[in-house]
């Protein structure tokens, strides 16, 4: 689906065409996020699961960085070439890695019993997803137009974001090993709130830590949430992870529309959308703190 969506976006079929295929790309990404983590966890020894979860998200961070490096180069051949190039790379990666996909036992993917609600993880992770919309959608534009640095340096912000993602994914697994899932989520919500606050000053120097820390928060929170789901439910973690991923995706979709409207009515104010993301992140921080303090079910 991802390869097909990228290739279809290369054709100029209008907004409805682009919207449909971008939606399908989102569906494919959601399925991969929902399946990859629990599948790897199910075939990994318990003592290595936190680190393995970090390595799964390391791949996501690596893909972000690769895409950020590729797109400016591909754009020299036009938008069509950029979309086809992304489709080609995704196809090659899929063909090479598909034979190595983990094969978890059926008892791990469809276990008996009922998973705990895990409301603290679901709500905190959903608010994290909503708060991360500004750096995910407006980070490059903030540098390129908001700070007047141009398209190339704007793409460079996405490279920084990807590098931060790689670091956050790896260190997130270690943080869970050291502190446990509940406390690790709380720590990452603090980091995310700091990242969003870095977008508010007008100084150019804050763009460097903004890109890195935003990426660190974005994939680190996914790593620790996956580990927290495993802590909370054991073999039923896959059930919780699907709920958590769905909550994250729905929250990002709603936040994306809302912040796009806010961006328009504030005359394209980057400060307004990043401030809104900061408020959502702080709300997630409160939920994570309550979950850690009172250990919700």
What does the longest C-alpha to C-alpha distance in the chain come to? 56
Supply the DSSP string of 154-213, one letter for each residue.
HHHHHHHHHHHHHHHHHHHHHHHHHH-HHHHHHHHHHHHHHHHHTTSS--GGGHHHHHHH
| Coarse DSSP helix, strand, coil percentages of the chain, rounded to the nearest 5 percent | 85, 0, 15
Distances (CA, A) of 49 to 53, 64, 122: 6, 23, 20
- CA torsion, points 74, 78, 80, 85, in degrees to nearest 10? -10
Strands (DSSP E) found in 14-97 = none
pLDDT, tens digit only, all 297 positions of the chain: 999 999 999 999 999 999 999 989 888 887 787 777 778 877 888 777 767 767 777 787 788 888 878 888 888 889 999 999 999 999 999 999 888 888 877 654 444 556 666 788 889 999 999 999 999 889 989 998 888 888 778 878 888 988 888 888 888 878 887 888 888 999 999 999 999 999 998 888 889 999 999 999 988 888 888 778 777 766 676 777 778 888 888 898 899 999 999 999 999 999 999 999 999 999 999 999 998 887 655
Q: Which residues contact 14 (CB under 8 A, 6 or more apart)?
A: none
């Amino acid at each position: 689906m991802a390869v097909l969506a990228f290739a279809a976006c290369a054709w100029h079929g209008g907004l409805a065409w682009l919207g449909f295929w971008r939606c399908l790309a989102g569906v494919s990404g959601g399925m991969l996020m929902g399946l990859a983590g629990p599948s790897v966890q199910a075939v990994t020894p318990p003592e290595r699961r936190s680190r393995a979860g970090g390595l799964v998200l390391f791949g996501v961070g690596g893909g972000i960085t690769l895409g950020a490096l590729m797109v400016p180069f591909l754009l020299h051949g036009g938008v069509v070439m950029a979309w086809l190039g992304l489709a080609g790379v995704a196809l090659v990666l899929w063909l090479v890695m598909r034979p190595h996909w983990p094969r978890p036992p059926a008892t791990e993917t469809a276990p008996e019993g009922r998973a705990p609600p895990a409301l603290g993880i679901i709500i905190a992770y959903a608010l994290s997803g909503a708060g991360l919309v500004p750096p995910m959608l407006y980070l490059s534009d903030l540098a390129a137009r908001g700070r007047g640095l141009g398209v190339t340096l704007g793409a460079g912000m996405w490279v920084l974001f990807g590098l931060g993602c790689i670091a956050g994914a790896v260190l997130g697994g270690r943080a869970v090993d050291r502190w446990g899932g509940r406390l690790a989520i709380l720590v990452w919500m603090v980091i995310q709130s700091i990242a969003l606050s870095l977008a508010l000053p007008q100084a150019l120097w804050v763009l460097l830590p903004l890109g890195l820390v935003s990426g660190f928060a974005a994939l680190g929170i996914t790593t620790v949430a996956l580990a927290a789901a495993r802590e909370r439910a054991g073999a039923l973690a896959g059930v919780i992870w699907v709920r958590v991923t769905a909550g994250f995706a729905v929250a990002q979709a709603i936040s994306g529309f809302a912040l796009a409207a806010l961006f328009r009515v504030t005359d394209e104010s980057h400060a307004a959308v990043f401030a809104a993301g900061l408020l959502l992140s702080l709300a997630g921080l409160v939920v994570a703190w309550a979950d850690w303090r009172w250990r919700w079910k």
